Amino acid sequence: MGEREEDDEEAWLQLRPVEPLPSQCCGAGCSPCVFDLYQQDLARWEAARASKDRSLLGGKESQSCPSKLSPETFLAFRISAMDKLTKDTYRVRFALPRNSQLGLRPGQHLILRGIIDDLEIQRAYTPISPANAEGYFEVLIKYGELLMLAAGTGLAPMVPILHSITDNADDETFITLVGCFKTFEGIYLKAFLQEQARFWNVRIFFVLSQENSPEQLPWSYRDKTHFGRLAQDLIEELVGSCRRKPFALVCGSTEFTKDMARCLLSAGLAEDSYFVF
């Protein structure tokens, strides 16, 4: 393969669509899903590459001046107003061009996509504005943040809380869960936790006190596992990585809950900002 052919090959690889992360799927059963759109883009890219015709890649970009919604194309809208209704609830108004209407039928929803902390996230919303509203549409977005710290069987009370949030498509609460166990084999509910971590608003980490080698762990656990004890430095890192000051839930042994209460206070959370089971 000559130098020019290698350059052409590299150029095509840079144009290859990027497979979405699990967090980019809203989980609402949309048709098409973000993964369906990825497969369509991938097929278009493969056809264009085979024929060496980049014009076949057209039609992928979002439109900045939309005339109507499309189930296969993201359209760019400008936020014209944002009203804070409660501590964690906002009414967001998006401008439509030329006093046009959104065109959704009652019961239909749309998918909004945006960037939060350098992570692309998308969620399904049902507009709260009148169906015949001209020049705008509005959605209600609720934010919140939970930091769950669980040791051993202390994971148990966190499970129904996780379920209640991820089972509710309208709940926008962000969750960071830290499970503390002695060994990898001793982690409870691995399959359940892996499933929950696929949701866009859930982060799950592990702390193993009797292991110290990431090479012994499956690849999917290496980046989210810490070794030793859950201590002040990691608590501060977790609190600092939250999108807003979280409300913490703590469950474990008496020694664990006392240590976590002390660490949370030192990390800047007041006593009314955490709850010990």
Predicted local confidence at residue 112, as pLDDT = 80
pLDDT at 20 over 80: no
Predicted local confidence at residue 22, as pLDDT = 61
pLDDT at 176 over 90: yes
Cα gap 109→127, rounded to integer Å:
7
pLDDT at 86 over 80: no
Confidence of residue 6 (pLDDT cuts 50, 70, 90): low
Q: Could you report the per-residue pLDDT of 122-168, keeping only the tens digit for each?
A: 677 778 888 788 889 898 877 789 999 999 999 988 888 888 888 87
The model's pTM: 0.59
Q: Could you report the per-residue pLDDT of 89-131, keeping only the tens digit for each?
A: 778 898 888 888 887 776 677 778 776 555 566 677 778 888 7
**CA distances from residue 200 to 7, 43, 175, 222 in whole angstroms, order as listed:** 36, 26, 10, 20
pLDDT at 35 over 80: no
